[in-house]
Chain A
Amino acid sequence: MIDFHLNGRRQRCADVRADESVLELLRTTLGQTGTKEGCASGDCGACTVAIGEPDASGELVYHSANACITPAHQLEGCHLVTVEGLAEGERLHPAQAAMVDCHASQCGFCTPGIVMSLFTLYEQQRRSDEEPPPPLTQERLEAALGGNLCRCTGYRPIRDAALAMGDYPAVDPAWITNAELGHPADGQIATADAGHYVAPRDLAALRALKAERPHARLVAGATDLWLETTQQLKALDELIDVRRVAELNAIEEVEAGWWIGGAMTLARLMPVLAEPYPAFEHLMHRFASSQIRHRATLGGNIANASPIGDTPPVLLALDARLRLDGPRGERELPLAEFFLDYKRTALAEDEFIAAIFLPRPTAGHHLKVWKLSKRREDDISAVLAAFAWRLEEGVMRDVHLAFGGMAAIPCRAPAAEAALEGRAPDAEAFAAARAALAEELTPMTDVRGSAEYRRLAAGNLLERLRLMIEAEGNPTDNNSDNRDSATKVTLDAYAH
């Protein structure tokens, strides 16, 4: 039984398969066909819905999600808002009215998803503590809409609608006054043991379940796992949902850094990164889409062990550590020892990633992160480079060069690092590093790029680093506007 609210009305759905998606539940069981299936892989955004979950103060906070790859069971205790739920009778919600007035729909198939992304943006503005709410910058618009593909309009009228909707008179959907929203009828969110889909609330319960059902798959954001059912039609018939395990959602700040719970979503991680590692935070804006970032977790991105995941190279460059946990107890492991081979890790079958340790930057520490992909937004890396170092009396120390897309696993380039370690950042040292890099990394040719391109580009990113250090003296200051074009070595849109 899933107990949730749909557009303000309580819904209870029994006999829901473990691997049923929110989209299937909506379209097939509930007959709500306004939400569309465009790809069933979380890439196009046509199925975007808004999910309201109570924050720490109990207030509902809405985020966008791809219904096609969101497990239906994760709706427990939530308020699901779909395109059918926005208008008040015949009065359109500002997000809808602005779309009509700006001629922002053509074929209309992506439109419900776009309206829902606009709705979550509207809610962000409405609930902002600032008065007036912060301006809708290009960056914020991209964050809100980068996960919604439109094949007809070219997006200009959608941008206009996003900018205009704040000027429309507020139209509150009828459900807005429903006091029960976010407060399940029985007063608490159930532990949700549906037999085949179980969502423990604390670490002890999770350990016990792992002991009891070692073969059950873990699910958190489901943003990759769910493709096994939607694309490959594999049955996911025994799942343990770690999304609501309290300890896995916590951040513990210690003197040396931060322990980040494994089930922390990327969207919640981003503000944590902003101050110590702005380049990392900036990269996260290009990690998939808003819909994905609000569901996907840091632990999931690591455990997935893809050679082209975005966070592992950065975490490798920062000497991150993992705390693995399970019925047999916990252990710590440097991240560098976690990835063994293509999609193979040091995680035992009964273990899970409980937390990720992110060290605090030391004085003079620098981090640069660059992601190469065919499309800037919502794409997977061809090459991801994360470079960390300190400059000490004119020489480079603690040089970490980590890459995604350059081997079967995310990895560092020790020979290239050695070529730079203790050296001044000059052309000679970098030429040696580049030569070493070409020797030690063996990228493959695949759909995202050829081996030749990857090798060349990775070397060129080292050259970019050299030029940046040379031109600026202070490479953390890449974002200042008064750079002379002669020293400009990245496009603004790609400068992390």
Chain B
Amino acid sequence: MRTLTDIAQDTSRRNQGDAPLARETVAPQGGAGSSRAHESAVKHVTGRAAYIDDLPVPRDCLHVAIGLSPVAHGRLTRLDLEKVRAAPGVVDVIALADVPGHTDVGPVFPGDPLFADDEISYVGQCLFAVAAESHRAARLAVKAAVVEIDEQPACLDPVTAAERGEFVRPPHTHERGDWQQALGTAPHVLEGEQFVGGQEHFYLEGQACLAQPTEDEGVMVYTSNQHPSETQKLVAEVLGIPFHAVTMEMRRMGGGFGGKETQASPWACIAALLARRTGRATKLRLPRAEDTRATGKRHPFHNRYRLGFDDRGVLAGGEITVIGDCGYSPDLSDAIVDRAMFHADNAYSLGAARVTGQRARTHTASNTAFRGFGGPQGMMIIEQAMDDIARHLGEDPLTIRQRNLYRATDPDGTPRDVTRDITHYGQRVEQLALLHDLIGQLEESSDYWARRREITAFNAQSPIIKKGLALTPVKFGISFTVQHLNQAGALLLVYTDGSVMINHGGTEMGQGLHTKVCQVVARELGLDLERVRISATRTDKVPNTSPTAASSGADLNGQAARDAAAKLRERLFDFAATHFDRDAGGLDREAMRLEDGHLVAGIGEAERRIPWGELVQAAYMGRVSLSEKGFYATPLIHYDRATGRGRPFYYYAYGAAVAEVEVDTLSGEYRVSRADILHDVGDSLSPAIDIGQIEGAFIQGMGWLTSEELVWNDAGRLVTDGPATYKIPAFGDLPPTFNVDLLQGHPNSQASIYRSKAVGEPPFMLAISVWSALRDALASLADYRISPALDTPATPERVLMAAEGLRARHKARPVDQEEPA
């Protein structure tokens, strides 16, 4: 299933720019476009890949533990740390008053105190830190603190918070067309609501950093971190020293998923401060339960829709409201709720619509980035609506989905005041042929309609076990919606033995970014991949970088690396043209190229090949610089927040999945028996890595919607604080039949790196098909006439309760009366 055929031709409507295709000139040595093992694969399997806690440390390295608030909301009336200071092995203890510089480490907006002042905002908030001779000594010392808090009622419900106007940031709205009139005149109007649960990142490597004091007032920090530049800035501000005194090094993370974009910084600040105060190295790694309590999660959302549609189920318009549970502070919530709003349409034209996003403040950890960044939560509401409309009209949900897909004209061909290829925020949706082609291909390859008939027949004669099937699409916008983050830098170094070192601002968290960037450089320089190496991401190699987030790592950093390599290549060509064969008038500069480890000039009999090593040596002797920096800024994008309009996304990535489930309606137990995925990565930079991202994202998304339940008790304490109680998918949850393919023949219409597409986040949302299939199985209990409410995660408990409710409603329901959700 996973062999990749050669690319035929670009079938997309139009191409922008002059970017070549990834596989146009595939280098046989593993350059861009071919499948390569992860650059650290052998180190991973032998245990030689070092993470923060594995790094050798100076003999006198101190270990840091954190004192966390046991209370969700209140005033800190007493923090007595005398006994902590006196505990065995303790060297230093710090709290708010010991911070020399900034005390607020909020990444975008203020609101995240490094240590609590007098206001306590969540269970797990940082109160103080201890540095001791051992990890255990530090943790034991924390227990000796005397903490008194005047406890106040905690608000844990985002809807209540929103009703009270408790927001971390003001509401925001997208509006397009006369949505009230659309609702007023539509033949059918449905409304519905849903709770979409949050998600713990559960990176296998918890938050960790190692700080060492350096010369002058500086500090060197090794950190497991998606955004080293921001942490550098915050460490410098907390210490009250210039940025150039602080260096971050980040080799690899044991998983990030968004959880180390902003929430790795406080720990680095604390470790750095203790390192400066004690003059010793300090290591801080959070034990799993503390990590889980102290750091934010994927935002839970409460969503509502009210939509009007015609007899064919085509949306005329309406309104959607999404309320994000932001936790106690803004963190990245402005952009996250924005992205939920940007994706409340998913792949469907809403017609005339208003989409409102609210950012509710609750007394939990500050919720943060997590793969999809609000997009998945926003999509959930329109996918619920699609199912609900189908049940209302007695149609198959896939039919309704297809009728509502973005398209150039209305399905019936009549133009309306809102064209159906423009989003509610005003961006035109490109590559529509791709979207329709992709769904059509999957519909066929997954045998959707035959299986639909089989399942309907099965369900009709199986009273307890019910099967469900659903196809859901994904359209995901690629770019940081905060415009200035869409930039990247790279540093390319060629040494005199011909070996190449590339650094860039992106960070490696397992997604294969470094492998892809090495492949880009290998291709640009015509070298074997083995000659190109990447080392740790460092703020003193490439400065002022953006977080590795928004799926943008390869798009941005790949382009920056390509820019550097292209500039160096041109310089070498200029040099070679006059340096070699000088007696014969030099080399032909025009057709010069780098391939198979050689500089090649001329063609046919006139071809002249100079080995890369010889070229590099000659250039060095000729006093030509062998290093280069590269830079990239994404073109075309803009968004005006005042009007809620613009083109926030450079392009969209698409995909679709078909999930089949079996549900035991007596127990609520279920299995995903099959999943088929067809996903658009443009022209793949590295197919095996892309497949890995798609599969991993799907399973992670499935966990989000099924077994991963965050539970807080009434006092606001997260009780699912480790893997004993918080259940991410395990080996046996892999669907027995799992077909994953990359869409062929549709390179990116925009000039992205070799016309590939970002892949980190979009496939996460393919898992919505699992949730929709569960609803489909449940709907069979009521002859597919009632659309069951099913909040997420759809645990066996929620599925059972939905089944019971549905059976009761179906029994009570008069024959042939249609019922909305």
Contact = CB atoms under 8 A, between A and B. Distances in A.
Contacts of A233: 136, 139-140, 143
B205 to A, nearest CB: 5
Contact of A39 (B35, B51, B288, B512): B288
Contacts of B729: 154-155, 375
Contacts of B44: 99, 105, 108, 111-112
Interface string A364-404: 00000010111111111010000000000000000000000
A101 B671 CA distance: 29
Given A34-B47, A100-B45, A112-B47, A152 B255 contact: yes
Nearest to A103: B688
A158 B731 contact: yes
Given A149-B723, A467-B464, A108 B689 contact: no
Interface residues of B, number: 90
Interface in A67-104: 82-84, 86-87, 92, 95-97, 99-101, 103
A463 B464 CA distance: 11
Contact of A149 (B43, B204, B668): B204
B733 A376 contact: yes
Q: Is the interface of B mostly helix, strand, loop or mixed?
A: loop
A36 B51 contact: yes
Interface string B252-272: 111111000000000000000
Contacts of A39: 288, 722-723
B38 A103 contact: yes
Interface in A118-175: 138, 141-142, 145-146, 148-159
B736 interface: yes
Interface in B694-708: 695-700, 707
Nearest to A100: B41
A229 B601 CA distance: 69
B19 interface: no
Contacts of B42: 92, 96, 100
A491 B669 contact: yes
B289 interface: yes
B45 A115 contact: yes
B136 A490 contact: no
B731 A142 contact: yes
A377 B719 contact: no
Interface in B95-110: none
Nearest to A107: B510
Interface string A7-50: 00000000000000000000100000111111111011010000
A290 to B, nearest CB: 11
Contacts of A374: 707, 709, 727, 795-797
Contacts of A156: 695, 734, 738, 740
A449 interface: yes
Contact of B720 (A27, A149, A150, A447): A447
A457 interface: yes
A103 B37 contact: yes
B724 interface: yes
Nearest to B142: A233
Contacts of A105: 38, 40-41, 44-45, 510
B461 A108 contact: no
A451 B736 CA distance: 33
B797 A86 contact: no
Interface stretch (A188-196, A259-267, A481-489): A481-489
Interface in B200-226: 201-206
Contacts of B691: 103
A277 interface: no
Contacts of A159: 731, 734
Contacts of A41: 288, 722-724
A80 to B, nearest CB: 14
A380 B722 CA distance: 13
Nearest to A142: B732
B664 interface: yes
Given A86-B46, A151-B700, A489-B464, A100 B254 contact: no
A12 B624 CA distance: 58
A474 interface: no
A332 B45 CA distance: 50
Contact of B671 (A33, A152, A491): A491
B732 A376 contact: yes
A336 B692 CA distance: 51
B666 A92 contact: no
A141 B731 contact: yes
Nearest to B45: A96
Interface string B782-821: 0000000000000111001100100000000000000000
A33 B510 contact: no
A442 B348 CA distance: 48
Contact of A44 (B699, B723, B801): B723
Contacts of A379: 727
Given A84-B47, A490-B664, A460 B800 contact: yes
A448 B205 CA distance: 25
B734 A486 contact: no
A231 interface: yes
B50 interface: yes
Interface in B357-375: none
Contacts of A141: 731
A36 B54 CA distance: 9
A447 B711 contact: yes
B670 interface: yes
B509 interface: yes
Contacts of B732: 138, 142, 146, 376-377, 493
B620 interface: no
A342 interface: no
Given A106-B511, A145-B731, A149-B723, A40 B664 contact: no
B288 A138 contact: no
A346 interface: no
A107 B47 contact: no
B797 A450 contact: yes
A408 interface: no
Given A39-B722, A100-B41, 19 more contacts: A43-B722, A100-B37, A103-B691, A105-B40, A106-B38, A107-B204, A107-B255, A112-B44, A146-B731, A149-B728, A155-B734, A372-B668, A374-B707, A376-B669, A453-B800, A456-B800, A460-B666, A485-B461, A490-B667
Listed from nearest, the 10 A-B pairs whose CB atoms lie closest are A34-B47, A107-B510, A109-B254, A154-B699, A108-B44, A106-B510, A43-B723, A83-B47, A33-B54, A105-B44
24 contacts: A33-B47, A35-B47, A36-B204, A36-B205, A40-B288, A83-B47, A96-B46, A100-B37, A103-B38, A107-B204, A107-B255, A108-B38, A146-B730, A151-B201, A153-B692, A155-B733, A233-B136, A376-B733, A377-B732, A457-B800, A460-B666, A486-B462, A489-B465, A494-B667
